Amino acid sequence: MFLVALLANSSSIKKFELDIEFEYDFLLFGIVSPEKPYRLAWQINHKHPYNFERAEDYEIRLNDKPCSFSRFDFKHDENHTGYILLANKEEGAFLLPELRNFDYLLLVSGALDFFDELTLKQDIGAVTSVQIIYAVDINTLKSKQNLVYAY
């Protein structure tokens, strides 16, 4: 009897959806380079003050398929900023499909009030294998949620 009464009243249960909007408090840059991830990180490391180190791959499910993207991290203690270099494509999948023209994504987080974007662009743009580095407005991307757990 109790189950019947519960089932009879289940249609009157109100459902609420919790819509959480994440804060994307980092800067995003797209990089075009034909180099393999480890070679690009090595080349960038020859520019002062960068010192990227290999980190665990960034794993995410895209279209119900597990994907793994190469990742390199660098923390600049003096400036209180963190840098994450991610491959944008792996085995035909794109981490950010809207940015399929970019081979790599660079996320910069931390004390951004003192961050010098021009210096970053000049330093990384001076790497011979980097064809372009471009600042991307994260708020314009539909698939920006793919980066929520990257930093």
Q: Where residue 104 falls among pLDDT bands split at 50, 70, 90?
A: very high
Share of the chain above pLDDT 90, in %: 62
Alpha carbon 100 to its chain's center: 13
Beta bridge partners of 136: 28
- Tens digits of per-residue pLDDT, 10-67? 556 777 776 666 666 789 999 999 999 999 999 999 988 899 999 999 999 988 889 9
**Maximum distance among all Cα pairs of the chain, rounded to whole angstroms:** 76
Beta bridge partners of 71: 86
Cα 129 from Cα 132, distance rounded (Å)? 9
pTM of the entire predicted model: 0.83
Cα 40 from Cα 74, distance rounded (Å)? 14
Which tokens sit at 147? 């980066």
Cα 112 from Cα 137, distance rounded (Å)? 15
CA angle (88 as vertex; 42, 125 as ends), nearest 5? 45
* For residues 71-92, average pLDDT: 93
